[in-house]
């Protein structure tokens, strides 16, 4: 086979997944149906956990140079509260960046690593057998790979071809969003709908959010006149909006794929889950899917994956997506102007005065509160480890190669049988309350302790047998 993995879709999830696979010398082909990158400069926010993962791969500095830092906080249902004190991260901020710029940087990065990207290639069919997957393109070309991953968005062709269910709720409301100039500086809003907002977006522009006239299939992009009409209908004025930089429409459809894996075909990003953009979690969720999946799929291809490792992608990530869907449902209700939701919003305003409540919601939105179920153990087990300052440098700087890492404060432990997959860092001064931790390539704590035999068992659980067998 010419390819180990074919990825359908070169958005943030697809490009990030390709980069993760190339860290392990997996042969990757990315197919993108669009001939050119998206041109409109929609601004997206990278949350704390995504920033940590980018730092873990040495990408954050390059990407942050094209974005703007904003304070962490005020995410949940747009309730205006500052971030709680001492957020447990070295990257406790929101990075606003144009989505096309982020995609371009990730695509350039994975191409530099050796990924092949082909644009204007729409997947129209697939067949799989015990040895691989055959992918058919719109022009009739057939390609072969060991695995296929659908990162092709909410209307995923790969998901539909697999026959995977996508249950949930259809859109009940539609909203217009865009960035444009306004003749009225610092407009005063006296609107009755919480979905209406005009906020400065830099360069003399405003981020405009206003309810759409009704629910549509979003086949046609919105026009400036659509914005003007809806602003007049809701606010009584169109604020003199003009010169749009970009315009889009989104709904509040909420859906979660029944399965993330069918044989040799997997789903990631919006192909696996869609939800309203409240809290700005969608793109982040997809990037985090990619980092969870990348090393596991690479292990399967390289031949050292434990039998059930690839299945943990679904068992870990699908519950995280279900939680995101639930919190966006809650935020949607809190954004309503019905009497009941307005009362709930007032209650949330009171509750978020408590630091613990505010912290819990921020950790939920930014994904630093995610804990995978690795069995009984200390609370740190299954959680991500923050970016520690070690004697050999920053922890995340030592994880650029996408390998596991044993951080040992005892000086007695080793990962000698897994040196091709796991690095060891000995640092008795590390700011840890435990003797040692074993980190997976995604930075989650897979083991805590000080016993070599117990460590060996967990090395085998996550990184296979002590003898590397390359079955390519």
Instruction: State residue 193's pLDDT score.
Output: 53
Sequence-separated (6 or more) residues with CB below 8 Å from residue 16: 106, 110, 286, 287, 290, 291, 294
Give the helix/strand (H/E) hosting 104. Answer: helix 99-112
Round to whole Å and give the CA distance between 276 and 364. Answer: 16
Take residue 345 and report the two structure tokens written for it.
């919003």
pLDDT of 217 above 70: no
- For residue 192, pLDDT over 60 is answered with no
Q: How confident is the model at residue 215 (pLDDT cuts 50, 70, 90)?
A: low
Which domains does the chain possess?
3-167+255-366 (3.50.50.60), 176-251 (3.30.70.2450), 389-463 (3.40.30.120)
CA angle centred on 114, ends 441 and 18, rounded to 5° = 45
Torsions phi, psi of 159, nearest 5?
-60, -45
When pLDDT is averaged across residues 248-259 and rounded to a whole number, the result is: 92
Q: In what order do the strands lie in the sheet with 68-71?
A: 43-46, 93-98, 68-71
Indicate the pLDDT class of residue 186, thresholds 50, 70 and 90: low
Round the average pLDDT of the chain to a whole number and report it: 92
* 263 C-beta neighbours (distance < 10 Å), count: 12
Cα dihedral 384, 387, 390, 394 in deg (nearest 10): 130
Query: What pLDDT digit, counting tens, does each position of 364-386 carry?
Result: 999 999 999 999 999 999 999 99
Q: Give per-residue pLDDT as tens, 80-103.
A: 888 888 899 999 999 999 899 999
Q: How confident is the model at residue 1 (pLDDT cuts 50, 70, 90)?
A: confident
Note the pLDDT tens digit of each residue in 309-343: 999 999 999 999 999 999 999 998 998 888 999 99
Give the model's confidence band at 40: pLDDT under 50 very low, under 70 low, under 90 confident, else very high.
Answer: low
pTM of the model: 0.91
| Percent of the chain predicted with pLDDT > 70 | 94
Give the residue from 372, 400, 399, 402 showing the smallest Cα distance to 384: 372
């Amino acid at each position: 086979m010419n390819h180990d993995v074919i990825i359908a879709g070169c958005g943030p999830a697809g490009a990030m997944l390709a980069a993760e696979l190339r860290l392990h010398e997996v042969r990757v082909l990315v197919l993108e149906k669009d001939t050119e990158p998206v041109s409109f400069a929609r601004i997206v926010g990278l949350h704390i956990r995504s920033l940590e993962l980018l730092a873990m791969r040495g990408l954050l500095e390059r990407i942050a140079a094209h974005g703007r830092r904003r304070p962490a906080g005020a995410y949940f249902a747009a309730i205006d509260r500052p971030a709680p004190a001492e957020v447990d991260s070295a990257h406790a901020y929101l990075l606003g960046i144009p989505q096309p710029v982020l995609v371009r940087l990730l695509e350039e990065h994975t191409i530099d690593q050796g990924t092949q990207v082909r644009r204007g290639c729409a997947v129209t069919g697939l067949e799989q057998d015990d040895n691989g997957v055959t992918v058919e393109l719109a022009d009739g070309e057939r390609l072969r790979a060991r695995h296929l991953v659908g990162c092709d968005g909410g209307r995923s062709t790969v998901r539909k071809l697999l026959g995977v269910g996508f249950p949930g709720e259809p859109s009940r409301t539609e909203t217009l969003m865009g960035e444009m100039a306004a003749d009225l500086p610092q407009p005063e809003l006296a609107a009755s709908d919480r979905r209406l907002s005009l906020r400065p977006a830099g360069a003399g522009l405003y981020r405009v959010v206003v309810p759409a006239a009704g629910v549509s299939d979003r086949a046609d992009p919105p026009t400036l006149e659509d914005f003007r009409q809806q602003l007049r209908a809701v606010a009584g004025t169109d604020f003199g909006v003009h010169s749009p930089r970009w315009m889009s429409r989104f709904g509040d459809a909420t859906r979660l794929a029944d399965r993330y894996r069918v044989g040799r075909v997997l789903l990631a990003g919006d192909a696996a889950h869609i939800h309203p953009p409240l809290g700005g979690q969608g793109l982040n969720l997809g990037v985090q899917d990619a980092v969870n999946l990348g090393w596991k799929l690479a292990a399967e291809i390289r031949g050292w994956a434990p039998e059930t490792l690839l299945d943990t992608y679904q068992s870990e990530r699908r519950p995280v997506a279900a939680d995101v869907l639930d919190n966006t449902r809650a935020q949607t209700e809190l954004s309503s102007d019905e009497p009941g939701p307005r009362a709930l919003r007032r209650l949330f305003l009171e509750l978020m005065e408590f630091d613990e409540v505010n912290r819990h919601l921020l950790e939920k939105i930014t994904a630093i509160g995610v804990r995978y179920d690795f069995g009984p153990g200390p609370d740190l087990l299954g959680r991500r480890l923050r970016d520690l300052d070690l004697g050999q440098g920053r922890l995340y700087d030592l994880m650029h190669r996408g390998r596991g890492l044993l951080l040992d404060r005892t000086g007695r432990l080793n990962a000698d049988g897994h040196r091709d997959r796991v690095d060891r860092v000995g640092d008795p001064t590390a700011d840890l309350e435990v003797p040692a931790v074993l980190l997976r390539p995604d930075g989650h704590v897979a083991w805590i302790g000080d016993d070599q035999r117990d460590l060996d068992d967990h090395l085998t659980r996550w990184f296979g047998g002590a003898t590397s067998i390359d079955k390519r």
